Amino acid sequence: METQVKVPNRLNSVSLIGQMMAASFADIKRQAAEGKKVVWANGLPAFLLAKGAHMPVLHAEGLIAGLAARGQEKPLQDAAEAFGLLPDACSYARSFIGLARIAKGDFHLDSSVNQDVYSMPKPDLYINVPGGGCGTGRLWGDSVAAICDIPAFHLEPRFNWDESDLEYNIADFIRQEQELIALMERVTGQPYDWNHLKEVLEEVKKATTLRQEIMKLCQHVPAPASFFDMAASIGLVCHLVGMPGTGDLLQKMKGEVEQRIAQGIGSVPVERYRLYWDGILTWPRLGVLARKFAALDACLVVGPYTHLLFLPRADMIDPERPLESIAYNLCDTCSNYDYTYRAKAVADFCQEYSIDGLIMSETQTCRGINSQSFAIMDGVARRLGLPAITIGGDSCDPRFYSDAQVDTRLQALLETIEARRKVRQL
C-alpha cells in the first residue's frame, strides 16, 4: 500500500498546543516546589473544580497521550507491570499507576531514560471523573491513592438509563461537586475561591465555544482540519482546561481553519474519502496513522471521542452557575446514554459531515469506549448504506497495534466506498 507520498496538512496552531502542554507540566512542578497541593486526575475535565482550590492538576490522559505520541510510554508501563499489573488492564491507567510508583520512589527508572520526563510531583489528592461512567476509573484512582497514601474522590455521573433519569442525575452530580469542594478545602486548609472558579469558567466557555465552531467548520468539503487536529485540541479543554490563553489559541486555530476554507485547502492534500472514527486514537501511532490516511486521500473528519466527550455542551456553560454547567457537561452527553441516543448522534454526524465510511477503532485495553461499536455498525452504518470496518489498536500500548492489519482493512473500506460510488453512478 502506498504510504508517505502525500503528507497531512497539519494546522500550524496545533504545534502551539504541544508547547502549552509542556509548559503546564513544568508549571505543575514549579507550583509543587512552592508548596502547592497537587491533584492527579483522570477522565473528563470536571476536575477543573480544583482550579477554585488553586490546586494544580496533572491530568493522566493529557500527559500519557503526549508521551505515547512521542514513543515515551514504555518506562511507565514497565513500572506498572513490575508491580503486577497485566497488559490487559487499561493502558492509560497502567501508565499513570507506573508514574505514581515512580513519584513515590517505589520504582527506579533505568539510567538511560530521560528522568525529567517521568518525574512528577507526588499528588495530595486524586480526582477520578470517568468518561461514560467507566468503573475502571475508580480502580485506577484507588490504585494511585493506595500507592501514594492520599485520598481519592470519585466524581461519577450516574448513567442515564432512561432519559427521565437526567434531572436526578444532575442533582446528584452537583451534590458530588459540593462534596469534592469541601474535601479540597480540607486538603488545602483554605476556603474555596468561587470567584476564581467563575473566571476559569469564562475561559472554558470561550474555549469550548470556539472548539465547537471549529468542528462545525470541518463539515466543509474538503475538511480544513482533521480528527488528528481535533484530537490534539482536546488538551485545550481537558488538561489545560480554563488556563489563560486556551481561548486565544483556539481563536487562532479557528482563523487558520477559516483561511483554509477561503483558499480551498484541505487537511489532506487530496480528499477523496471522508471518514468517521469511533474510539480513542492509538497515540503511539499518531503520526503513522495521520500519514497513512493522507497518503490514501482519506480524511478522518469526525468522531465522538473528539466531538462529544470533552465539555461538548458549551451552550450550557454559565460562569454564574459553575456547578450546574459542569454537571450538564458530564451528565447530559452522548457517552452517558445508551445505544439509542448515541446512534442518533452518529447518524447525524454522518450526514452533517458527509461521511463515506466508518472506522471503529478497537481500543483493546478499554472496555468503555468500544462498547457499542457493533451496534453502531449495525444500526447506523448499514441503515445509512455506509461501509464500516473495525481496526485494532489501543490508546497507549503499541503492542496491540498491527500496521498490516490496519492496511488490509483500510484498503477494503476504501475499495467498498469506490464500488458503492460506481453502483450509484450506474
Binding mask 102-141 for other proteins (x = CB under 8 A): ------------------------------xxxxx-xxxx
Footprint of other proteins on 174-193 (CB under 8 A): 175-176, 179
Nearest to 131 by CA among 334, 299, 364, 285: 334
> In sequence order, which residues have a C-beta less than 8 Å from that of residue 144 and are 6 or more positions away?
40, 96, 97, 100, 123, 126, 150, 152
Contact between 209 and other proteins by CB under 8 A: the answer reads no
Q: Which residues of 73-110 are buried (b: 16+ CB within 10 A; e: fewer)?
A: bbbbbbbbbebebeeebbbbbbbbbbbbbbbeeebebe
Alpha-carbon distances of 366 from 72, 90, 114, 188, 227, rounded to whole Å: 20, 5, 28, 34, 20
Footprint of other proteins on 141-170 (CB under 8 A): 141-143, 145-146, 151-154, 156, 158-159, 161
Residue 426, all three cell numbers: 450506474
Among 21, 46, 55, 85, contact with other proteins (rule: CB under 8 A): 85
Distance CA 190, CA 184 (A): 8
Distance CA 188, CA 183 (A): 9
Contact between 83 and other proteins by CB under 8 A: the answer reads yes
> In sequence order, which residues have a C-beta less than 8 Å from that of residue 420 and are 6 or more positions away?
385, 387
Residue number, 185 or 213, with CB nearest to other proteins: 185
Among 230, 365, 388, 417, contact with other proteins (rule: CB under 8 A): 365
Contact between 13 and other proteins by CB under 8 A: the answer reads no
Contact between 418 and other proteins by CB under 8 A: the answer reads no
Q: How far is the CB of 142 from other proteins (least distance, A)?
A: 5
Instruction: Give Rg (Cα) of the chain.
Output: 21
Among 13, 267, 333, 373, contact with other proteins (rule: CB under 8 A): 373
Contact between 72 and other proteins by CB under 8 A: the answer reads no
Contact between 89 and other proteins by CB under 8 A: the answer reads yes
Does residue 69 contact residue 10 with C-beta atoms inside 8 Å? no
Residue 121 DSSP one-character state: P
Does residue 67 contact residue 102 with C-beta atoms inside 8 Å? no
Contact between 35 and other proteins by CB under 8 A: the answer reads no
Among 28, 362, 389, 393, contact with other proteins (rule: CB under 8 A): 362
Contact between 213 and other proteins by CB under 8 A: the answer reads no
The residues of the shown chain that bind other proteins, judged by CB under 8 A, are 80, 83-86, 88-90, 93, 132-136, 138-143, 145-146, 151-154, 156, 158-159, 161, 172, 175-176, 179, 338-339, 362, 364-365, 367-368, 370-375, 378
